Amino acid sequence: MEMKFDGSFDVDLPRNEVFEILSDPRKFAPMLPTFHSMEMKDDRTALVRIKVGIGRISGTASTELTLEEADAPVRARYVGRGKVMQGAYQMISAFDLEAMPNGGTRINWMGETQLVGKILSLAGGGLRGYAEKEINRLIGSLQEGLTPGAELPKAKPKHEGWLARSIRRLRHQDDQPQAAEEAPEGAAQQGAETLAQQPQEVQVIQKEARQRIAQALGVNRQQKPLSRKEDNRLIRGRGLFVDDYKPGGTLHMALVRSPYAHAKILNIDTSAADALPGVFCTLSGDEISKQCQPFLQIGPEPCDAIKDYPLAVGKVRYQGDPVVAVVAESLRLAQDAVQLVEVEYETLDVIITCEQALQNDVLIHEEMGTNTDWQGVYEYGDLDKAFSEAAHIVKIDKLHFHRFGSTAVEPNAVVATWDDSLGGIDYLANTIMTIPITMISMALGVSADRIRLRTHDIGGSFGNKIGNYPYMALAALASRKTGGRPVKWVETRSEHMQAGSQGSERSYFDTEVALDENGVITALKSRHVDDCGAYPRYEPLGCVIWSQVLPAAYKLRNMRIDFSQVVTNKGPAAPNRGYSRLPHMWFMERVVDICAHKLDIPADEMRLRNYIRDFPYETPNGCVYDSGDFVALLNKAKDLIGWDEWQQKREKAKKEGRLMGIGIGTTLDSGTNNFGQSVIVNPDSPFSGNAVPAMIKLDIDGSVSVAVGSFPHGQGHETVVSQVVAEELGITPEMVNVAVGFDTARNVHSGQCGTYASQFAVTGLSAVHGATEMLKKELKELAAFSLEAAEDDLEFGLGDMGPEVRVKGTDRGINFWALSNLVNANSARLPQALRSLNLNCRYTYRPPFEVPDPESKFGNLTLTYAMQTHLAVVEIDPHTGQVKILDYGIVDDCGKMINPMIVEGQLHGGAAHGLGAALLENLPYDESGNVLAGSFTDYAPITINNVPKLKLDHMESPSPFSYNGAKGMGEGGGAPLHAISSAVQDALIDKGIIVRGSHCSPNRIFEMLQQPDGDQVVTVERRA
């Protein structure tokens, strides 16, 4: 990291005298604001002790300050070199002196600082401000030194807000070294004690602030019920996230990652790292490639030729590719040791765009022989006929859906223990489905049955954390190498941005749309290319998952999509909220809007002419949209924001030359995967259908306990499951215990468990419902025996003795404890016929799926379709390209809402993700393959200041395919991306601009305003 500063100031001293001072290290060095002491090494070089750090850090560091240039009386130049905070710095200060007519001197100064090392990761984006402040202090100090009698301005106390006070307090802390210098001789040696004392004024400010906090904490407390079971631990800081888990003897793993996007690894030297006390071992790609098999590739030939190991073997394929793992007794030691590993690389040409990848001039995986890891054509209907009969054909040049990530606040993390007593691996990890068990089992040669996977609290995932498995495998190998010690790995944010959070990007080429004379779309053909980054991993499934929503909300029957996926030298992609369907629906919404504008049909009218109207609706590829009403959704959304009024305002704005636009985003959230769709990607896939188990039991004390095969990470499954079970048993949710997180040891484990693909409300709850029905049946059998009543005469409910089964309409009942007692502790009283009862019931829900046909790519790929329509009103600043949201409305229909509060929370969250992606969040790469958003500071995930007030309304079209009428709805379908692109398009159409990218950043809009090319990139052929 390099920082340069310059400036000039005037002093009264003549130039000769100024030069004499500045060119003598003995006189120059003491003027440094952090000067502590010095000794001369030779005439030109001083060894200077300076105070380092901020505030109360009382350390000093050595700087070697050399006068490198002294050109009397016009120029002096110093170079300072030293080490500080696990890093090194070099500072260059140069002074060019001009004689002034008044006899004084103008000093033109230049400062340059280079910093290398850990300090960067600690200080991040704030370092520049700090360096600038230090330079200003140095110049201020020089000014003072060269101007006898001058006084530096002092911070003045003022009673404003906390921020102003904090800044002032920090200033005082920074001023401490100076205060020490001004103190009598000897005082400076008191060190930390002196520095720790605060000026009285700061003490007063602190006291006031502490009192305010104490007062805020001392308020009256009235305890009310919490809205979710999970909240009780999470709002008290008592959750258990992976990084909070520290079993005895835990070691820590840190990774050496490639700085290059594509390079051969020539040599790895870990000797210095291995020699560092506290380091237990290092692992390299060569070593682990002998201990494990490459991960299973989901795609068939040529994808299956890819050799994907937990560490790079032979070459690196993206910036951040892990090369060496270091395991040490503390994380800080591991990070120190990472700095000591030397890796020699030979860089290779880099592939960044899908166009480059398709040329195959450079291969990312030589063994694959191409950069295209999957290709297939999805064709339905009669394209030739539809195009020959079309009244209009709209041709659209390339569209592009950008790379971004949902980036949970908690990064990927794992604690792995190679456990001989288990004969396998014990994991606490924050992955979100059971696929990683399959991957790790096959790679490491450990039976899936011998892998215990637990999750507890997970700090968000949004699909991304499926990509945790290479690190889970690596941590297990590290644990084995250290004799079975638990090994913890927690991804840093920069690692996450480089390697752990990227959604696939998609490009759409040569789109042609056939429409009839009324603007009804009759056919569409296009070529789509996904860029999945360096390793496909889960991504080949994205080559089919989009086709769950093939026609989006529209009734066209003739479609041909040539779909391929390429690898590039970017971070490996992982599923991202709205996975694969979102980019397709953005494309379809763009097509509809572009056609509407080109045919001069209002965007709402265009949709009304094309929406699917009757449900259930079978799409051209055999998917079944279960229920809904797109027209009603749009109308409700219009009412929500006051559509007509906004249209009038838009017309007025247009007349005034302002850029206001109204956009529509219609979207589908397909839920409950049929894994049979994997045969469309790979006919040999061993997966089909979907299977999610749940268990319910009556414990010895009669309490009801439930475990589910889901991996919740914010969706409130404990709350919803207790609500559903309580309703079915006629008791209260507090009486139902739901196990936290997931655990293979609970026997609620299938190959498709997890929380993904908007399925819990259907799969999870159907499983719970099935298990509860089984338990109720057993309880009735027992109660019928105990009460000497017929089972049909019994009902469930709450009695004086708690949950019970009783004879309908009477107070003759038996409570759960007594029923449990009969089975668990008093069984001699149980008749033989009832001794097979367990009160421990497992039910696996399997949706009614069949395996799709891989040849015709036809079949039902998903069970339910939630729907949303979003309306966005925006105004664009023509000078900056900034998009301001003036109004935003959402209407959703996810069938029967089981818990409306949680549904709304998911809608809000999904909307914020979409708005962030549409306006702020982007993962661009430069031509060398450097990711340009390597931290949150650059990535700019959406904050509370960027999300407008979201207006929300609902419809409920119960699904005919789920027992409870619910539809999965957590992914949301990314409607804000559609709506914002649509609104920006509406605002800019008169400027001749067609929105062709999903990222509507100010930069992008500014560029479009400078170079409108709408007429070149979209053409219309009129036949009618």
Partner 1 sequence: MSDEAQTVSVEISINGSRYQREVEPRLLLVEFIREEVGLTGTHIGCDTSYCGACTVILDGEPIKSCTLFAVQADGGEVITVEGLEQNDELHPIQQAFSQHHGLQCGFCTPGMLMSSLALLAENPTPSEKEIRKQLGGNLCRCTGYQNIIKAVQAAAKTMQEG
Cβ at position 197, least distance to partner 1 in Å: 9
Cβ at position 1, least distance to partner 1 in Å: 13
Q: 487-490 and 251-257: which strand pairing?
A: parallel
**Under 8 Å between Cβ of 351 and 568:** yes
Q: 878: alpha, beta or left, given left = phi > 0 and alpha = psi -120 to 50? A: alpha
Cβ at position 866, least distance to partner 1 in Å: 17
Q: How many CB atoms lie within 10 A of CB 15?
A: 20
122 is a contact residue toward partner 1 (CB under 8 A): yes
Q: Cα separation of 768 and 746, whole Å?
A: 14
Read off the tokens for 915. 């708005």
Q: Which is nearer to partner 1, 285 or 716 (CB)?
A: 716
227 is a contact residue toward partner 1 (CB under 8 A): yes
Q: Which is nearer to partner 1, 529 or 923 (CB)?
A: 923
Q: How many CB atoms lie within 10 A of CB 912?
A: 20
DSSP 267: E
- Classified as helix, coil or strand, 504 is coil
**Under 8 Å between Cβ of 378 and 623:** no
Cβ at position 166, least distance to partner 1 in Å: 6
Q: Cα separation of 267 and 282, whole Å?
A: 15
**Under 8 Å between Cβ of 993 and 1014:** yes
Residues 706-725 that bind partner 1 (CB under 8 A): 713-716
DSSP string covering 699-759, please?
-TTS-EEEEES---SSS-HHHHHHHHHHHHHTS-GGGEEE--SEEGGGT---TT-BS-TT-
Number of residues this chain uses to bind partner 1 (CB under 8 A): 102
398 is a contact residue toward partner 1 (CB under 8 A): no
Using only C-alpha atoms, the chain has a radius of gyration, in whole angstroms, of: 33
Among 241, 509, 615, 1006, binds partner 1 (CB under 8 A): 241
457 is a contact residue toward partner 1 (CB under 8 A): yes
Among 161, 248, 657, 831, binds partner 1 (CB under 8 A): 161
Cβ at position 744, least distance to partner 1 in Å: 22
* Opening angle at CA 348, ends 345 and 354, nearest 5: 135
**Under 8 Å between Cβ of 285 and 525:** no
SS (H, E, C) 545-581: HHHHHCCCCECCCEEEEEEEEECCCCCCECCCCCCCH
DSSP string covering 838-904, please?
-SEEEEEE--S--PPBTTTTBS--EEEEEEEEEEEEEEE-TTT--EEEEEEEEEEE-BS-S-HHHHH
Cβ at position 208, least distance to partner 1 in Å: 7
Q: Which is nearer to partner 1, 220 or 1010 (CB)?
A: 220
Encoded one letter per residue, x for contact with partner 1 by CB under 8 A and - for no contact, window 672-711 reads ----------------------------------------
**Under 8 Å between Cβ of 776 and 796:** yes
Among 901, 1007, 1016, 1019, binds partner 1 (CB under 8 A): 901
State the DSSP H helix or E strand holding residue 883, giving kind and residue range, or none if neither: strand 883-893
Cβ at position 224, least distance to partner 1 in Å: 6
Read off the tokens for 799. 């009695």
DSSP 953: E
Q: 558-566 and 521-531: which strand pairing?
A: parallel
Residues 786, 788, 794, 795, Cα dihedral to 10°: -30
DSSP string covering 776-790, please?
HHHHHHHHHHHHT--
Q: Which is nearer to partner 1, 113 or 335 (CB)?
A: 335
276 is a contact residue toward partner 1 (CB under 8 A): yes
Cβ at position 870, least distance to partner 1 in Å: 13
- Classified as helix, coil or strand, 89 is strand
Cβ at position 282, least distance to partner 1 in Å: 16
Token pair 């008093």 is found at: 826
Residues 81-110 that bind partner 1 (CB under 8 A): 85-86
Read off the tokens for 49. 């002790």
Residues 278-317 that bind partner 1 (CB under 8 A): 278
Encoded one letter per residue, x for contact with partner 1 by CB under 8 A and - for no contact, window 412-451 reads ----------------------------------------
902 is a contact residue toward partner 1 (CB under 8 A): yes
Q: How many CB atoms lie within 10 A of CB 417?
A: 24
121 is a contact residue toward partner 1 (CB under 8 A): yes
State the DSSP H helix or E strand holding residue 114, giving kind and residue range, or none if neither: strand 105-117
Q: Which is nearer to partner 1, 53 or 802 (CB)?
A: 53
Among 171, 238, 385, 812, binds partner 1 (CB under 8 A): 238
Residues 932-961 that bind partner 1 (CB under 8 A): 935-937, 941, 943-945, 947, 949-950
Among 400, 913, 978, 996, binds partner 1 (CB under 8 A): 913
Q: Pick the stretch among 232-240, 263-271, 736-744, 778-786 that binds partner 1 (CB under 8 A).
A: 232-240
| Phi, psi (degrees; rounded to nearest 5) at 418 | -80, 110
Q: At what angle do helices 717-729 and 763-787 cross, to 10 degrees?
A: 30
Q: Cα separation of 66 and 80, whole Å?
A: 6
Q: Which is nearer to partner 1, 335 or 356 (CB)?
A: 335
Token pair 């079209």 is found at: 957
Among 134, 321, 410, 893, binds partner 1 (CB under 8 A): 410
Q: Which is nearer to partner 1, 825 or 944 (CB)?
A: 944
Cβ at position 843, least distance to partner 1 in Å: 27
Q: Which is nearer to partner 1, 577 or 590 (CB)?
A: 577
Q: Which is nearer to partner 1, 786 or 930 (CB)?
A: 930
Residues 333-362 that bind partner 1 (CB under 8 A): 333, 336
Cβ at position 841, least distance to partner 1 in Å: 30
Reference 623, options 683, 578, 672; nearest CA is 672
DSSP 611: B
Among 910, 965, 968, 1014, binds partner 1 (CB under 8 A): 910
DSSP 403: P
Among 26, 27, 41, 56, binds partner 1 (CB under 8 A): 56
Residues 836-855 that bind partner 1 (CB under 8 A): none
Q: Pick the stretch among 331-339, 647-655, 748-756, 994-1002 that binds partner 1 (CB under 8 A).
A: 331-339
Encoded one letter per residue, x for contact with partner 1 by CB under 8 A and - for no contact, window 205-224 reads -xxxxxxxx-xxx-xxxxxx
162 is a contact residue toward partner 1 (CB under 8 A): yes
Cβ at position 460, least distance to partner 1 in Å: 5
Read off the tokens for 3. 């920082």
Q: Pick the stretch among 64-72, 240-248, 527-535, 879-887 that binds partner 1 (CB under 8 A).
A: 240-248
Q: Pick the stretch among 37-45, 142-150, 786-794, 907-915 that binds partner 1 (CB under 8 A).
A: 907-915
Residues 473-502 that bind partner 1 (CB under 8 A): 490, 492-494
Q: Pick the stretch among 60-68, 231-239, 822-830, 841-849 that binds partner 1 (CB under 8 A).
A: 231-239
How would you label 123-144 residue by residue, b for 16+ Cβ within 10 Å and e otherwise? beeebeeebeebbebbbebbbb
Q: Pick the stretch among 23-31, 63-71, 137-145, 203-211 that binds partner 1 (CB under 8 A).
A: 203-211
458 is a contact residue toward partner 1 (CB under 8 A): yes
Q: Pick the stretch among 117-125, 311-319, 559-567, 739-747 that binds partner 1 (CB under 8 A).
A: 117-125
Residues 875-894 that bind partner 1 (CB under 8 A): none
Read off the tokens for 127. 């370092």
**Under 8 Å between Cβ of 484 and 251:** no
Among 164, 187, 196, 801, binds partner 1 (CB under 8 A): 196
Cβ at position 533, least distance to partner 1 in Å: 21
